[in-house]
Structure 1
Amino acid sequence: MPVTLHHIVVDTHDLPGLARFWAAALRWRVLSEREREVVIGPDESAPVGMCFMPVPATERKTVKNRLHLDLTTGAEDREAEIDRLIALGARRVDVGQSGEESWTVLADPEGNEFCVVRPKETLIG
């Protein structure tokens, strides 16, 4: 059997806080919560989820992520979703974009960048 993606793992200083931010951002739920791990996903049978693992406070993020998530939504909802994510604790960040991009760069409460891209239907054709 070939390998498949199981979890996207995110290191965090605030284990429950960052997990809850992403659960709310994605409209997922917390599936399991242990002392050193919180897993979120759309439901227990989903093939992929996110797992949050603690790191020492001395380990700080210092540069742009080498891997990030791209989120999308309907064209009419894009700005409202960006506003919702900011209200949850995200913030706009500048990683060198020109302003002409079809995406908006945000960072979660711990500074991990992610993008809200234009809807798929506007990317094709």
Structure 2
Amino acid sequence: MHHSRLSTLVIDCHVDNLDIATAFWSQALGKPVASPDQDGDGRYAELQTAADEPLILLQKVDHPSRVHLDIETDDLDAEVARLEGLGAQRVAFVRERWWVMEAPSGHRFCVVGPQRKTIGPHLNRWG
């Protein structure tokens, strides 16, 4: 048995400087900036959300701006296999930590490990 849930709304930003996008989305969504430079490389910023809300992450990207979802799981292989069984396809394994997937609808999303200390609430149990 493994578990998964919607983890993160990722705002992909095709920009030179993520600070402007972070300020905009922080004000637009009424969420303070939790971390303006999450990994110290200028590629990720996080907005503050409540413990029972999805995380909101801004990501500096080279592709056109869009929004994608992250699904977190306590068993990456099992969740990827489950989603493949539903028709998703693997696109890329990134930093040996998460999978970029593509839904049958053409939407890209990521399958990641746990993003918070506990993977609940709103947890799905599979298997």
TM-score, length-normalised on structure 1?
Answer: 0.38
Structure with greater contact order relative to length (CA < 8 Å, sep ≥ 6): 2
Please identify which structure carries the higher helix content.
Answer: 1
Please identify which structure carries the higher strand content.
Answer: 2
